[in-house]
A and B are shown apart, each in its own frame.
Chain A
Amino acid sequence: MGIKSSTPYGKDFGGCGLAGIIDRSGKSVAGNMIVSSLTSMKDRGNGLGSGYAVYGAYPEFKDNFGVHVMYNDAGAREPVEQLLKTKLKLVHAEPVPVKKIHAIADPPEFWRYFVDPPDSMDKTDEDAIDDLIVNIVMDINERIDNAYVVSSGKNLGVFKGVGHPDAIAEFFKMQDYSGYLLLGHTRFPTNTPGWWGGAHPFTILDWSIVHNGEISSYGTNKRYVEMFGYKCTLLTDTEVVAYLLDLLIRKKGLSLAAAASVLAPPFWKDIEDMDPHKKDYYTALRVSYANASLNGPFAILMGFDNGILGLNDRIKLRPLIVGKKGDIVAIASEESAIREVIPEPDDVWAPKAGEPIIVTLKEDAKQ
């Protein structure tokens, strides 16, 4: 008997596949859409990790932080809940609904907690509240064995694990969710082991990242974010991208576009040719945040409460395609994945190397 192959070509091949869909009017897109988009690129993964992010998943708890936690051991639940109860106000706790299926053997346990900052905190000091949540996430990941925070944003649900995209979707009942922004990722892990915590998206607060590529600057980036208290515990290079964006945007106050040009900076030779104003601007960004620039091949999609950012490395070593029709914009590794959800797009194009694609909700969009 030969080895079972997932493709008709007789051998497995691929890389990671990623997909994102946003309805700029803020209307909900069915969870199934991202599943079928991603599943069309099943051969880009190897079944060792898939996942989804749904922005707008929890309208009834939209003002609470939704903390998804994965337990590899049921015993880890107690210390986590204890921590959440002491440091925060627990509004609601429940297991994440799952369906036991054959394709997913031996899954960990998932719980979600909806929490508020403690009453003692000034509710207008959002930065301090965000810092508190980040610290708690870091604390759980680093200190409590067998417990990993999957997501911690508001109105955001993240569902990921070891399995092909359709299996993971079935397991987490993706058909029951919908949201104005959906991200998906299928993984072909090479450098880091295929484990549940290693599947994408990686998230911190409202940021979620899916990534195709390998970050050759990982050591530099990791040691940089560690200077600011982030801890890379998930055994993968993508995690650091989530922390970099949180650092650049929330802590350093950069706009999305500025942050994108830090991650994939223009070449010095191009900066030389810019007009003096732009030249100073990009020089300052590049010089000041050199340790945050990403090197190596990558295509990333980053979700945030108000939209999505798509970005390629500076020499486009990974695919990224954008398609749009009306208010719906889809970004994915392959055009086929876009046509799966927008069969007749108004426009489809491949962004240039290092050129950020930023799609935000319209002003009047109801979240």
Chain B
Amino acid sequence: MLYKNPYNHYFDYVVQRDIDKCIRCKACVTQCSYGANYYDADRDLIYSLDHNCVGCMRCSTFCPTDCISIVRNPDAFRLNANWKDHNIKDLYKQAGTGGIIITGMGNDKPFTNYWEHMVVDACQVTNPSIDPLREPMELKTFLGRKPDKLEMNKNGDITTKLAPQLILETPIMFSAMSYGSINYNVCESVARASKELGIFWNTGEGGLPKALYGYGKNTIVQCASGRFGVSPEYLNAGAAIEIKIGQGAKPGIGGHLPGEKVLEGISETRMIPVGTDAISPAPHHDIYSIEDLKQLIYALKEATRYEKPISVKIAAVHNVAAIASGIARAGADIIAVDGFRGGTGAAPKAIRDNVGIPTEVAIAAVDERLRQEGIRNEVSLVAAGGFRNSSDIIKAIALGADAVYIATSALMAVGCTLCQQCHRGRCAWGITTNDPELSKRVNPELAAERLVNLIHAWSNEIKEMLGLMGINSIESLKGNRDRLRGVGLSEVELQALGIKQAGI
């Protein structure tokens, strides 16, 4: 008797195929890494196992006759405002497996998106807007500790030595994505793009493959609780070091790399055996309090002769402002605050969707707190988590960020369709997989070009927006909340963002 697990019936997508148009080329079969399409030679027909489909659209993209449509499964539970579709399916899944539900990418729940409730000011009459096509427009950004005061000698020469700075040609960086969670080709793409753009990429906690040491000048090397791949050579290879305390997608827990993804190169770079799970401890076991963080910051500074800025990355949580203030006082040069829409290669779904706070309010709170304490200058603030376009970035900088980190949008530039299967290591777009056959789907040269295009496009849009605000240098937008107004927000929300209501 055909055995069918009844719960498999509750799948999300249906692969529809117009058989009249299908030329049996089997592209959809080879492109689908989830085994959802197969060819039946006897009937000379292509079939789909819909329950295997994750909706990544790889097959429909590659179908030469455009005969595939991936549609949401119309088979629907009775409408229930409390028990939403995903609540029901998750429950069945767990009843079947007894396991934690793991997912990939960022929080997809419909929380208020504050970027969409903020609008930007423009010049009219009293203040000329500036045309970026005709006038210089400066996006150069310096990240690192700034002196409170420059000391001068009697000749007027500056005697204060500037602390080490990261110099960015545009205030956008590629956020931490570890080698292992993404494959080598994607790492190389991001590194190449960073070099060409004059910005930085971040190794994440997976170490730096030897072959990418040449991109060190554009690399931020991360030191996370698992210490994977951390060696003196590694610390000195990058332009800055980032201590990863937390991540927006899963505040309070460490990184997870399933053993299936730990292949040869990854094992070597991470310094762990092939096939072992790389599970970072939830906390750093040498950091149980702020003074311990200070010790690690200074240990890393010592290890790199005080030549590199040290960044500390935290997840945006309720008390983020006070935590950030402590981090600044502990000696960090950069603080990266990762909001709850930040992506991940793998996270328990319950955590991803329910823990942490939005980047928007976190940045507003941290910037304000550091100013109140008079230490805003001593540390740069990088916003991360859920940036979708240049206007999100503009607003983050106006709220008080010095620069932003992007990762999900960078992967999308390489092809990612947000199917949320990164944890499975079977990414059909060849991104979050180490399968050599799948990894080949990303060509570093072409992918780097797309990344460069994206950042160029966004930078140009940022210039346009600065120009219409009558600003010709990004530093005059930083923390300039006067140029933002809120639409459709409550008074408390406006207050949390530190902005005024539109019309006022």
Q: Which residues of A contact B (CB under 8 A)?
A: 190-191, 213-214, 216-220, 222-224, 226-228, 251-255, 258, 265, 267-269, 280-281, 283-285, 287-291, 293-297, 314-315, 317
Q: Is the CB of B126 within 8 A of A190?
A: yes
Pairs A–B under 8 Å by Cβ, sample size 15:
A213-B127, A216-B471, A220-B475, A220-B479, A227-B376, A227-B377, A252-B150, A255-B152, A267-B138, A268-B140, A288-B147, A290-B142, A290-B475, A291-B377, A296-B127
Assess the A284–B160 pair: CB atoms within 8 A: yes
Which B residues touch A191, using CB under 8 A?
126
A293 touches B480 (CB 8 A): no
- B480 touching A220 by the CB < 8 A rule? yes
Q: Which of B467-504 contact A (CB under 8 A)?
A: 469-473, 475-483
B471 touching A295 by the CB < 8 A rule? yes
Q: CA of A280 to CA of B130 in the docked complex: distance in angstroms?
A: 28
A253 to B160 Cα, complex, angstroms: 13
B158 on interface, CB distance cutoff 8 Å: yes
Which residues of the other chain, A, contact B151 by a CB distance below 8 angstroms?
A: 253
Instruction: State whether A287 touches B162 (Cβ < 8 A).
Output: yes
What's the Cα separation between A295 and B468 when bound, in Å?
Answer: 12
A223 to B156, CA, bound (A): 28
How distant is the Cα of A214 from the Cα of B160 in the complex, in angstroms?
33
List 9 other contacts, CB 8 Å, given A223-B479, A291-B377. A219-B481, A223-B480, A226-B371, A227-B376, A252-B149, A287-B142, A290-B146, A315-B136, A315-B472
Indicate whether B128 reaches chain A with its CB closer than 8 angstroms.
yes
Q: List A contacts of B376 (CB < 8 A).
A: 227
CA distance A314 to B130 in the complex (A): 12
Find chain B residues with CB under 8 A from A267 CB. Answer: 136, 138
Residue in B156, B398, B480 whose beta carbon sits within 8 Å of that of A218 in the complex: B480
A315 touches B135 (CB 8 A): yes
Q: How far is the CA of A213 from the CA of B127 in the complex (A)?
A: 7
- The answer to whether the Cβ of B165 comes within 8 Å of any Cβ in the partner chain is yes
- Asked if A297 and B482 make an inter-chain contact with CB atoms under 8 angstroms apart, the answer reads no
B374 within 8 A of A: yes
Q: Is B157 interfacial (CB-CB < 8 Å)?
A: yes
Question: Which of B126, B152, B475, B482 contacts A222, CB < 8 Å?
Answer: B482
With a CB–CB cut-off of 8 A, which chain B residues contact A228?
Answer: 374
Q: Given A252-B150, A287-B142, A287-B162, does the pair A293, B127 have CB atoms closer than 8 Å?
A: no
Known contacts A268-B140, A293-B473, A295-B476: A218-B482 contact under CB 8 Å: yes
Q: Name the CB-closest residue of A to B160.
A: A284
Contact of B371 with A227 in the complex, beta carbons under 8 Å: yes
Interface of B is mostly: loop
Nearest-CB residue, chain A, relative to B125: A190
Q: Which A-chain residue is minimally distant from B126 (CB atoms)?
A: A190
Q: Give CA–CA (A319, B138) in the complex, Å.
A: 23
Given contacts A220-B480, A281-B157, A288-B146, contact A314 B472 (CB under 8 A): yes
B364-423 contacts to A (CB < 8 Å): 371, 374, 376-377, 398
* Interface: B123 (CB within 8 A): yes
Q: Give the docked Cα–Cα distance between A289 and B377 (Å).
A: 9
Which B residues touch A297, using CB under 8 A? 127-128, 470
Q: Which residues of B contact A285 (CB under 8 A)?
A: 150, 158
Are B476 and A223 closer than 8 Å at their CB atoms?
Answer: no
A-B contact count (CB 8 A): 114
Chain B residue nearest to A318 (CB atoms) is: B128
Neighbouring A residues of B126 by C-beta, 8 Å: 190-191, 214
A6–B135 Cα distance when bound, in Å, is: 35
Tell me which residues across on chain B come within 8 A of A314, comparing CB atoms.
472
In the assembled complex, the Cα of A21 lies from the Cα of B174 at a distance in Å of 54
Q: How far is the CB of A352 from chain B (nearest CB, A)?
A: 15
With the chains together, A309 CA to B479 CA distance in Å?
Answer: 28
Q: Mark B447-470, 1 if CB is under 8 A from A, else 0.
A: 000000000000000000000011
- A284 B158 Cβ-Cβ under 8 A: yes
Residue of A nearest to B375 (CB): A227
CA distance A269 to B125 in the complex (A): 29
Contact A220 B149 (CB under 8 A): no
Known A-B contacts A190-B126, A227-B371; the reply to A216 vs B469 at CB < 8 A is: yes
Give complex CA distance A217, B479 in Å: 9
Interface centre among A268, A285, A294 (most CB of B within 10 A): A268
Select from chain B the residue with minimum beta-carbon distance to A290: B475
Given contacts A252-B150, A284-B162, A287-B165, contact A216 B127 (CB under 8 A): yes
Contacts of A287 in B (CB 8 A): 142, 146, 162, 165
**Please, which residues of chain A bring their CB within 8 A of the CB of B156?**
255, 258
Q: Closest CB-CB distance, B503 to chain A, in whole Å? A: 15
Q: Are B471 and A296 in contact (CB under 8 A)?
A: yes
* Given contact pairs A216-B476, A269-B136, A284-B150, A315 touches B130 in the complex (Cβ within 8 A): yes
Tell me which residues across on chain B come within 8 A of A281, comparing CB atoms: 157-158
- Cβ–Cβ < 8 Å partners of B146 in chain A: 287-288, 290
Residues on the A chain within 8 Å of B470, using CB? 214, 216, 295-297
Q: Nearest chain-A residue to B475 (Cβ)?
A: A290
Complex Cα distance, B469 from A224, in Å, reads 19
Could you tell me the distance between the alpha carbons of A253 and B153 in the complex, rounded to whole angstroms?
Answer: 11
CA distance A230 to B127 in the complex (A): 25
Which residue of the partner chain A has the closest CB to B147? A288
Q: What is the minimal beta-carbon distance from B167 to any residue of chain A, in angstroms?
A: 9
Nearest residue (CB) in B for A265 is: B473
Is the beta-carbon distance between A219 and B374 smaller than 8 angstroms?
A: no
Kindly list chain A residues whose C-beta atoms are within 8 Å of the C-beta of B138: 267-268
> Are A291 and B479 in touch, CB under 8 angstroms?
yes
Min CB–CB distance A270 → chain B (angstroms): 9
Contacts of B483 in A (CB 8 A): 216, 219
Contact at B478–A291, with CB atoms within 8 Å?
yes
Which residues on the B side are within 8 Å of A291 (C-beta)?
377, 475, 478-479
Assess the A219–B482 pair: CB atoms within 8 A: yes
| Residues of A with C-beta under 8 A to B130 | 315
Shortest Cβ distance from residue A227 to the other chain B in the assembled complex, whole angstroms: 5
Those 7 A-B pairs whose CB atoms lie nearest each other, nearest first:
A219-B482, A217-B476, A295-B476, A219-B480, A216-B470, A214-B127, A290-B475
The distance from the CB of B150 to the nearest CB of chain A, in whole angstroms, is 5
**Choice from B371, B469, B471, B472 contacting A223 with Cβ under 8 Å:** B371
CB-based nearest B residue for A269: B136
- B158, B472, B476, B478: the one contacting A280 at CB < 8 Å is B158
Q: Which of B136, B138, B377, B472 has the most CB of A within 10 A?
A: B472
Q: How near does chain A come to B126, taking the closest CB pair, in angstroms?
A: 4
Which residue of chain B has its CB nearest to the CB of A222?
Answer: B482
Bound CA span A255–B152, Å: 10
B314 → chain A closest CB, angstroms:
23
B158 touching A253, Cβ below 8 Å: no
Docked complex Cα distance between A315 and B132 (Å): 12
- A317 cross-chain contacts in B, Cβ below 8 A: 128
Whether the Cβ atoms of B478 and A220 lie closer than 8 Å is: yes
Kindly list chain A residues whose C-beta atoms are within 8 Å of the C-beta of B127.
Answer: 213-214, 216, 296-297
CA distance A88 to B479 in the complex (A): 37
Q: Chain B residues near A252 (CB, 8 Å)? A: 149-150
A63 to B481, CA, bound (A): 41
Q: Which residues of chain A come closer than 8 Å to B158, judged between CB atoms?
A: 280-281, 284-285
Known contacts A216-B471, A284-B162, A295-B473; is-contact A290 B478 (Cβ 8 Å): yes
In the complex, are the beta carbons of B374 and A227 less than 8 A apart?
yes
Contacts of A295 in B (CB 8 A): 470-473, 476
A227 to B374, CA, bound (A): 5
Complex CA–CA separation, A106 to B147 (angstroms): 49
Q: Give, as a whole number of angstroms, the nearest-CB distance from A191 to chain B.
A: 6
CB distance from A44 to the nearest CB of B (A): 13
For the complex, give the distance between the alpha carbons of A101 and B77 in Å: 82
A258 to B470, CA, bound (A): 24
When distances are taken between beta carbons in the complex, the residues of chain B under 8 Å from A213 are 127
